[in-house]
Amino acid sequence: MTRSEKTTKIAIRNLYKIFGANPASVLDKVKAGMSKEELMESHRHVLGLNNINVDIKEGDITVMMGLSGSGKSTLIRHLNRLIEPTAGEVLLNGENVVDLGPKELRRLRREEMSMVFQHFALLPHRTVLENAGMALDVRGLPRSEYESEAQKWLDRVGLTDVGAQYPHQLSGGMQQRVGIARALTSNSPVMLMDEAFSALDPLIRTDMQDLLLELQDELKKTVVFISHDLDEALKLADHLVILKDGFVVQQGEPQEILMQPNDPYIVDFISDINRARVLRVRSVMEKTGEAPAEVAGDVDRDDTLEEVIARSEGRTDLTFRVMHKGRQVGVLKMTDLVKALVPTAAAEDGLRSSAA
């Protein structure tokens, strides 16, 4: 199923956030094009979000990323209205979250959207099992009813024997697993993850990314993931949204952004990545159902270019048949693969522009 065929779970429309004494008084100036710097200098207001429009598809991992101050954490907190917008809409299943009253908003936070925080946010006086079952506890379920559900998800994230312990007795990685188990126990269709792995050591962080992908393959949640790390974003994202100074610079399928960056800022972002490790065969292949005359073997359309290079043993005169679900979807020439490892013409132009 293509992205356009998927149902939109959350639609963000014309969303603005201005921090200051009287945001409404300067909204028109921002809409007319006043920059973040001008707004601060002239009116002592901070522009947090500037006309954000994003469709978050059901069952996808949407990663929103950018440097510090880009607006990514501000944006995710608008989805469950931990932050009130200055203007705009956040539509969940077609219903505007901005219009919800206190009772409906509490229900949304308890049942529709769970959140996993960067610094775990576990209650220190509760056991691991009680923390994992907190969402159901808040809904009024007795421990006898939520305990088995909480234990099921603790088992699933690899914490079978620690339910009776307290958060301070666990490592950082284990504490974050409790946070994920808590979100899963709530059984909410949407998971919001605000830099959920950035406080972890690199090896543990990789394990947590793998765990999330494994769970997502099974559960098909709608996940909104905030990150400042491009490698993490490229690994996790079905849809990538890159922010700068409160506005969206570029969004799309990560492979498309890598191959066709549309702004010098994006070019700078992707300039240091290992393209062979993150680019997929589907981004480089020639789409065809016709088999080539000479075939060195079959590769999957989702294989990385690094994997194909290893199979080719460095030879550039080979051609592979590209397969997906048992049928041919394309052909990959090693000469095309090598060209893809060099920044695109758009990227080169962007680099020249940014250096000028």
85: helix, strand or coil: coil
Q: What is the average pLDDT value for the chain, to the nearest integer?
A: 90
Per-domain boundaries in the chain: 3-252, 280-340
Q: What percent of the chain has pLDDT over 70?
A: 96
Pick the CATH number of 280-340 from 3.40.50.2300, 3.10.580.10, 3.40.50.300, 3.50.7.10: 3.10.580.10
Element (H, E) at 24: helix 23-31
Count Cα atoms within 13 angstroms, Cβ side, for 126.
15
Residue 242's Cβ-count burial label (10 Å; 0-12, 13-18, 19+) is buried
Reported as a single tens digit per residue, the pLDDT across 271-309 is 888 889 889 999 999 999 998 889 999 999 999 999 999
Q: Please write the tens of the pLDDT for every residue from 215-269.
A: 999 999 999 999 988 888 988 999 999 999 999 999 999 989 988 899 998 988 8
Phi, psi torsion values for 92, nearest 5 degrees? -105, 115
95 dihedral zone (left: phi>0; alpha: psi -120 to 50; beta): beta
For CA atoms 119, 225, 111, 107, the dihedral sign is positive
What superfamily in CATH does domain 3-252 come from?
Answer: P-loop containing nucleotide triphosphate hydrolases (3.40.50.300)
Reduced to 3 states (helix: H, G, I; strand: E, B; else coil), residue 235 is helix
